[in-house]
Amino acid sequence: MLDATAVVAGYGGKIILQQLDLQVRAGEIYALLGANGAGKTTSVSLFLGFVAPTAGTVKVNGFDPVSEPGQARRHLAYIPENVALYEHLSARENVGYLLHLAGQQEDAAAIDQALGAAGLDAAAFDRRVAGFSKGMRQKVAIALALARKVPALLLDEPTSGLDPQATSEFNRLLGVLRAQGVAILMVTHDLLSAADVADRIGFLEAGRLREEVAATGADRFDVRALHRRYAAQAAPVAPAAPAAQSGQAA
Ligand SMILES: Nc1ncnc2c1ncn2[C@@H]1O[C@H](COP(=O)(O)OP(=O)(O)OP(=O)(O)O)[C@@H](O)[C@H]1O
C-alpha cells in the first residue's frame, strides 16, 4: 500500500535518504524510529509528495505522489504532531467541512458514527475545537480518516505529549484502523508505544533503514534489547555502570 523502493532524496542537493526501502502493507502498523535528523519526517514527506526522490520509486496504492498527486492523496490521510483544525468550528463541522474539501459528502449520521468510533465523547461533538486537548484533536483527525475510508494513514509523532491513558486510547484506535485493513506508517520516538501497537518497527539511521524487527512470530522483538540499542543509537553513552545487586540496599 505504501511503497518506497531504493529511494534517494533530500533537500537542495543535500542527500538525506539513501537507498530507502520501506513498505507498509494493508492492515499493518509500521513504526519508524530513529534519532533526530535521521530522516523520519522526510520519509513521510515522500508519500505526501512534498519531497521528490532523485532516484527510486514511491507509490501510494500504486500512485506516484509527485506525478499523480490527486490520486495518491485520495488514498491517504496524514495526522501531524499538532492537528490543525478550524478553531471556530465544532468537531462535527470540522469533519463535515474537511470531507467536503476532500471532495466527499457524508451525512450527519455517518459523521457522528466516525466521531464516536474515534472515541470522542458525544458531548464534545458540537463544541468548538478551540478548547480541545491534543488527544481530542487527534480523535477528530482519526474520525476524518475513518469517514474518508482511506486505505493508508501517515502519522508523525502522534503520541508525543499525550499522557499514558490518552496514548493507550490512541493506540487502541490505530488497532481499529488496522482491523479495517488500513496501512499505517507512524513516526515516533516512543519505543514503548511502538512495541505496544506496531507489527513492525524500523530503525532509521542517517537516511538508511538500519534494522527492521517484527512484533509477532519467531522474529518477535525483545523490547528491552531494542531499547538498549535504540538509546545507544540516539545518544551514544559511556559504558554502563555495573548492575546493582537485586535485593540489597545501597
Ligand atoms: N525543508 C528542509 N530543507 C532543508 N533541510 C531539511 C528540511 N527538512 C529537513 N531537513 C534536514 O533533513 C534532515 C532530516 O530531517 P527530518 O526532519 O526528516 O528528520 P527526523 O528524523 O524526522 O528528525 P526529528 O526526530 O528531529 O523530527 C535534517 O538534517 C534536517 O535538518
Q: Please, are residues 186 and 206 in contact by the beta-carbon 8 Å criterion?
A: no
Give the residue, by CA position, lying nearest to ligand 1 atom 26: 36
User: In this structure, which topology does domain 1-75+154-236 adopt according to CATH?
Assistant: Rossmann fold (3.40.50)
Mutation pick for ligand 1 pocket among 20, 40, 47 (CB with most ligand atoms within 8 Å): 40
Q: What pTM value is reported for the model?
A: 0.87
Give the residue, by CA position, lying nearest to ligand 1 atom 10: 11
Rounded alpha-carbon distances, angstroms, from residue 238 to 6, 73, 217: 35, 45, 34
Could you report the per-residue pLDDT of 222-248, keeping only the tens digit for each?
777 777 777 766 554 444 444 333 333
Mutation pick for ligand 1 pocket among 11, 20, 203 (CB with most ligand atoms within 8 Å): 11
**Residue type at 224 in one-letter notation:** R
Q: Please, are residues 33 and 192 in contact by the beta-carbon 8 Å criterion?
A: no
Q: Which residue has the cell 509477532?
A: 216
Q: How far apart are CA 138 and CA 172, in angstroms?
A: 13
Number of CB atoms found within 10 A of residue 135's CB: 19
Could you report the per-residue pLDDT of 19-59, keeping only the tens digit for each?
999 999 999 999 999 988 999 999 999 999 999 999 999 99
- Return the domain boundaries, the chain: 1-75+154-236, 83-149
User: CB of 167 closer than 6 A to ligand 1?
Assistant: no
Altogether, the residues listed in the chain come to a count of 250
- 0.85 surpassed by complex ipTM: yes
